[in-house]
Structure 1
Amino acid sequence: MRRTSSSLALALGLILVTLASHCYGQLSVGYYKGKCWDHNVEEIIFNVVKAKFAKDPTIVAGLIRLQFHDCIVRGCDASVLLDGPKTEKTANPNLSLRGFDVVDAAKIAVEKICPGVVSCADVLTIAARSSVFLAGGKWYYVETGRRDGLVSRQSEALANLPSEYMPVRDALHLFASRGLSKEDFVVLLGGHSVGSTHCDNFKHRLYNFHNTGKPDARMHTGMLYALKKICPKKGGSNSKVYFKHNPRNHYRIDNGFYKHLLVNQAILEIDANIASSPLTNSIVKNLAYSPDYFRNRFGPAMVNMGRIGVLTGNQGQIRRSCSRVG
């Protein structure tokens, strides 16, 4: 029954996108209608993502994170996709990014029927939305019409990407500088509901939190014990740990992530911080207590993120290959 409902929602979404008229600046819903003959660009990209998702559902977290890492640095211009020495790809926080192959495959599929028209920045945005829907998230309308940037610098990625240890106040300032609200910040962290991380990103919370020689006192004792077994103090383990602890729920977009935060089962420090900070705690509670609140807000927050620093009109270019300029 769920599959039938999901298929119906997808069909309606792909049809109604041609009827929507919402615009933001020079971005608009349904921007590619009529630009590729009778081909539905968003459906083509969706089918590529769907095929990948069927084999590897972890791609959902990969694509959401890939779009975030692109948009936070230089805006949503596909600069994170560019190959080359000292590009954003080579920055340490980006070495673990995934989904480049999916964006490339989607771009190739679109180029075959509509060469030189659809930007890599839009392919990435549509691919991320497709993955959210496939993981059980609510369908949302993406605004398109972006062009691709010409510049990608490792130094800018290092300077602008938030760390797992960033204080809430600093994170809110960073997001506000990109036009995102406090609620956008907390809701976007809900992307962790389908993600995983590695011991190196939170090991300090287990053994030497901020040089105290002790664990983070906020961490649930049962989870602390379990994580210490996975991430021993000595031995160099960098095992993967899922943000949600229910194996049946690893790849579903839902508000379970926030429920874990309220019982001190955050894994990353930034996640624990949003639960304990008076600046964001009330939003975390609202998201945890109301599944519909998170379900209805995640898409709009992704849309807001997709507006950061976009290039339109005569700016940038339409890349024929997402990994190189030209």
Structure 2
Amino acid sequence: MGRGYTLLFVLVTFLVLVAAVTAQGNSVSNRGGGRRPRVGFYGNRCRNVESIVRSVVKSHVQSNPANAPGLLRMHFHDCFVRGCDASILLAGNTSERTAGPNRSLRGFEVIEEAKTRLELACPRTVSCADILTLATRDAVVLSGGQSWKVPLGRLDGRISQASDVNLPGPSDPVSKQKQDFAAKTLNTLDLVTLVGGHTIGTAGCGLVRGRFFNFNGTGQPDPSIDPSFVPLIQARCPQTGGTRVELDAGSVDRFDTSFLRNVRSSRVVLQSDLVLWKDTETRVIIERLLGLRRPSLRFGTEFGKSMVKMSLIEVKTGSDGEIRRVCSAIN
């Protein structure tokens, strides 16, 4: 009798210790973002999440096609600062939205409308970070791009500071771009493919005017640019006046490989885009994406893969985040 009681006590003690270790491990994985989002995360809790977001995005893109590249750019700017946690959506005098590179962002109203509709359908269930990720995919598809499955299950961050915004710049050399992307667990293929997203959208004239009128103080355009392309951009962005210019001349609203062909032909407005053709590694990738080198790569497929990788940068889970009631403010 005594021996049986002792064995039972030992067994119960062992099971309690195992449970404690397991619980501690789960707590650590949630704190550090060890749990990863997955496709179908919401299941029956919010069965229509994707269709609701898609409907809102479709309405806004149809009324203004500029919302498509706006959402794509916003998602990139969000993920590269504190990870994909919708911190870019938080309002405030010193929030990320007030930083120089983010002042021209557009599409905030798209996410807020989708959030409002989802709060009615599935209260306190879908994060703003997941809405932004889904909306970006839908914006690309509505622009003619290939779809991809979006892992869901992110939480929203609580911190948004303009001082944290340090994004890749429009004049960065390839080495700096590779370094910045590697710091976010993205490789050179991801770099080239994601920059290929410049196939839709525009750039402010202030970012490109110097290259087309006074490159490095020479008083002349950048000699690397196709000479026939120079007067076209000078007309769109004169030395005084002008606002924005297409990143992909001739195909600004269509998600395709036109931009990569323009990089190859030195007919792009940003210096950081043009230099991708001069670097051996990035040039080979462009050639593969254009089908000029074997083995070839499908741009649409690779873009979807890279977008999934980017959308998983430093995601918030567990006690690290929350599900905001409105996307512009913490709870």
Separation in 1, partners of 2:313, 2:278: 28
Separation in 1, partners of 2:235, 2:207: 16
- How far residue 50 of structure 1 moved from its aligned partner, in angstroms, is 0.8
**TM-score, normalised relative to structure 2:** 0.86
The reply on whether 1:84 has 2:84 as its aligned counterpart is no
Separation in 2, partners of 1:232, 1:120: 39
> Residue 281 of structure 2: SS of its match in structure 1?
coil
How big is the alpha-carbon RMSD for the aligned residues of Structure 1 and Structure 2?
A: 1.4
The reply on whether 1:252 has 2:260 as its aligned counterpart is no
Q: Return the index of the structure with the highest Cα Rg.
A: 2
Separation in 2, partners of 1:240, 1:175: 26
- Residue 5 (structure 2) aligns with: none
Q: Is the Cα contact below 8 Å between 1:26 and 1:313 reproduced in 2? A: no
Number of matched residues?
295
Q: Is the Cα contact below 8 Å between 1:256 and 1:288 reproduced in 2? A: no
- Residue 241 (structure 1) aligns with: 245
- Residue 324 (structure 1) aligns with: 329
Structure 2: which amino acid aligns with 1:324? A
- How far residue 163 of structure 1 moved from its aligned partner, in angstroms, is 1.0
Separation in 1, partners of 2:170, 2:249: 19
Structure 1: which amino acid aligns with 2:329? R
Q: Is the Cα contact below 8 Å between 2:224 and 2:266 reproduced in 1? A: yes
The reply on whether 1:209 has 2:215 as its aligned counterpart is yes
Deviation per residue, 1:27-71 (Å, 9 max, x gap)? 1001011223xx311111011101111111121100000000000
Q: Which of the numbers 40, 51, 57 marks the counterpart of 2:65?
A: 57
Q: Is the Cα contact below 8 Å between 1:88 and 1:153 reproduced in 2? A: yes
- How far residue 238 of structure 1 moved from its aligned partner, in angstroms, is 3.2
Pairing of 1:221-240 with structure 2 (within 5 A) = 221-233=227-239, 235=240, 237-240=241-244
- How far residue 292 of structure 1 moved from its aligned partner, in angstroms, is 6.2
Pairing of 1:1-326 with structure 2 (within 5 A) = 25-36=35-46, 39-157=47-165, 160-233=166-239, 235=240, 237-246=241-250, 249-289=251-291, 293-326=298-331
> Residue 69 of structure 2: SS of its match in structure 1?
helix
Indicate the larger mover: 83-92 or 313-322.
313-322
| Structure 2 segments unaligned to the other structure (5+ residues) | 1-33
- How far residue 244 of structure 1 moved from its aligned partner, in angstroms, is 2.3
Q: Percent identity?
A: 39
Indicate the larger mover: 117-126 or 277-286.
277-286
Deviation per residue, 1:216-258 (Å, 9 max, x gap)? 111111110111122223x2x1322112222xx3211111100
> Residue 218 of structure 1: SS of its match in structure 2?
coil
